[in-house]
Amino acid sequence: MGIRCNVTQAPAGIMGFDTTDRLHTVTARQYYNQGYRFCVRYIARDDKSEYDDLNESEAQAIVDSGMALSVVQHPLAAGWSPSAQLGQIFGRSAAANAGAAGLPARMNIWLDLEGVKAGTPDTDVIDYCNAWFSEVESVGYVSGVYIGASPGLSADQLYWSIKTRHYWKGGSDAEAGVPDDIPHRGYQLVQYIHYPGTPQEFDSNVTKTDAFGGGVLWAAGPALVA
């Protein structure tokens, strides 16, 4: 049936957060009352997820709280090796799990690109990304990429070689391989990691409008305000 929401483009300067913890009606409203206006939740890449990933009732609770909702697929542990076949498998899973959570077409589903094994050929990373994008877009979602530490591609390759128009900057820095900016286009979402490596670690995010007027496409209710 799907959740009750609208798919809209995020305005610039909206603050939100991403979390692996499941929210419900009360906790979602608590985050809203703290000033957060969107949440990025996780979906699985296979049936072995160790997390409580997004489901339809949670998705509806988030949107009903007044926050917008976006989703990203869990990454593999650092040191993994991408391929076109793996991108097809994980992309298909991302599309299926987004659909199972009641998420509407035309919103962003994010690929988490990080932890690529050192020395991996650029073409393998590119083929992985483009296969993943193709799968989620084949059922009406819009691809996006989160760029975390060790993405395996340069800034130019991220712009010219992978087939997405939506970029999310991870909280790591350029020394970890995260470009300060995406050439020509720029980022639409920027992550900040608070208290890294501690039990209090928390990821906040801020929306941006890129150089071409693009922004995050998310699920939101009519109550969303800046």
Average pLDDT over residues 175-203: 95
Cβ atoms of 63 and 34 closer than 8 Å: no
Domains of the chain: residue spans and CATH: 6-220 (3.20.20.80)
Q: What is the pLDDT of residue 110?
A: 98
- Averaged confidence pLDDT in the chain: 96
Share of the chain above pLDDT 70, in %: 98
- Under the banding of pLDDT at 50, 70 and 90, the label for residue 26 is very high
pLDDT at 224 over 60: no
Pairing of strands 202-207, 189-194: antiparallel
pLDDT at 222 over 80: no
Q: What is the pLDDT of residue 226?
A: 41
Residues 132, 139: Cα–Cα separation, whole Å: 12
Q: What is the pLDDT of residue 109?
A: 98
| Beta strands, E only, 35-126 | 38-43, 68-73, 108-113
Question: How buried is 1 (Cβ within 10 angstroms: 0-12 exposed, 13-18 middle, 19+ buried)?
Answer: exposed
Q: What is the pLDDT of residue 1?
A: 76
State the pTM of this model.
0.96
Q: What is the pLDDT of residues 163-172, one digit of tens each?
A: 999 999 999 9
Average pLDDT over residues 98-121: 98
Residues 226, 91: Cα–Cα separation, whole Å: 32
Q: What is the pLDDT of residue 60?
A: 97
Centre a 10 Å sphere on the Cβ of residue 4 and count the other Cβ atoms it contains: 13
Q: What is the pLDDT of residue 223?
A: 59
